[in-house]
Amino acid sequence: MSIHESSGLTLITPVSLVELVFRLGIALLAGIVIGLEREIKGKPAGLRTNLLVSVGSALFVLIPIQLGIAQENPDSLTRAIAGVITGVGFVGAGTILKSSKIQGLTSAVTIWVSAGIGVAIGCGLWIIGLIVAVMTLVILRVFSRFESYL
């Protein structure tokens, strides 16, 4: 996110093609890392799901930035983020509710985190996105072993 101070207002400006590709590439990488872990464990929301959620979330926040809408009206970015959260809620609900049984809560939350990572990266906060991706991987790998031990 390019931020400039101009007469007390914070403006979000469109980014270059290189920056755009970089952000989408990092979102793709984060989605792959989380998705592969889920795929290896044979979970319902695996590689493609987490990858598409991460990249799609980055896309939805990049659109108002690239169109200059976020620069003119910073609330548009907040609305885009809220739309991502709402959409991911439906995907997560579909992951959890199968027949009359609730299962797959971790898969749903992983989708939710992948969306958050994509949003952060799309907004230019790629370091935060990568840190959370690594933290998510550690949580999914280490804590599942810890839970088994308990």
Strand segments, DSSP code E, in 7-143 are 9-13, 97-98, 101-102
Question: Tokens standing for 119?
Answer: 């949003």
Q: How confident is the model at residue 99 (pLDDT cuts 50, 70, 90)?
A: low
Q: What is the pLDDT of residues 115-132, one digit of tens each?
A: 999 999 999 999 999 999
Tokens of 14: 């469109």
Domain count, the chain: 1
Grouping H, G, I as helix, E, B as strand and the rest as coil, residue 98 is strand
Identify the domain containing residue 104 by its residue range: 2-149
Query: Which amino acid is residue 128, in one-letter code?
Result: I
Residue 143, judged by CB atoms within 10 A of its CB (0-12, 13-18, 19+), counts as exposed
Confidence band for 10, pLDDT divided at 50, 70 and 90: very low
